[in-house]
Amino acid sequence: MSATFRPANYRDVGEALGLWFDVSPIPAGRLLRGGRFDLMTTARDLGSPGTILNLRRGPDPGHLTGVEYVHVAADDDVENYDTRQRRVRSWLGKALSVLVTPGLAWPVYVHCTSGRDRTGVVIAAALVAIGVPRQVVAEEYMLSDGADAIAIERAIDGILEWLPSTGRDLARLRAALTGER
């Protein structure tokens, strides 16, 4: 039996939330996160995503079949943990909008290069948006190798400040992430 090699910081967000909740607010197998998957040979090795949300600057290799690819890269070298910046909030809003796209193929694999920084901020925003407690959001992020507690706390501060003012339909996002559509 051969071992499956997973990208850096790969995990099922629903399963990870099971560390803090008796019943995870996101079902296992619905939202996946990690780093680049360029060396994966099948979508099954990546958790069988229906959609891959790429947060890297460059495109995905596109070699996995049966997967929808969506690319939402940050516009420049802006610090993505500084969620009080308008440019970061704009990028974050675009990434969250993908998750409420009608007909989106689930599960969704959200990734950047290492699966920690850009991915961590997007996953944190999604979790905050559906009401996951701040401490749990931070702890889920801290499961990543090289995680920076100060950076994610700063990001969560900005997300908590920003989300209520966006006018986003957070109920739609919650329904999408929980599979209640």
pLDDT in tens, 121-161: 999 999 999 999 999 999 999 999 999 999 999 999 999 99
Residue range 75-88: average pLDDT?
A: 85
Specify the pLDDT at position 166: 83
Grade residue 1 by pLDDT with cuts at 50, 70 and 90: very low
Specify the pLDDT at position 96: 96
With tokens 């689930």, the residue in question is: 106
Residue range 72-85: average pLDDT?
A: 84
Q: At what angle do helices 117-129 and 86-98 cross, to 10 degrees?
A: 70
Q: Residue 104 corresponds to which tokens in the numbers above?
A: 């989106």
- Amino acid letter, 154: R
Give the chain's mean pLDDT. 93
pLDDT in tens, 91-115: 999 999 999 999 999 999 999 999 9
CATH topology classification for 11-175: Protein-Tyrosine Phosphatase; Chain A (3.90.190)
The full set of domain ranges for the chain reads: 11-175
In this predicted model, which residue has the larger pLDDT, 180 or 10? 10
Strand partners, 16: none
Taking the whole predicted model, whether its pTM rises above 0.75 is answered as: yes
Instruction: Please report the DSSP string for 10-49 in residue order.
Output: -EEHHHHHTTT-SS-SS-TTTEEEES--TT--SGGGGT--
Residue range 59-85: average pLDDT?
A: 89
Which of 116, 127, 126, 110 is CA-nearest to residue 149?
A: 116
Specify the pLDDT at position 114: 93
Least confident of 5-9, 76-80, 170-174, 177-181: 76-80
Residues ≥6 apart with Cβ < 8 Å to 175: 181
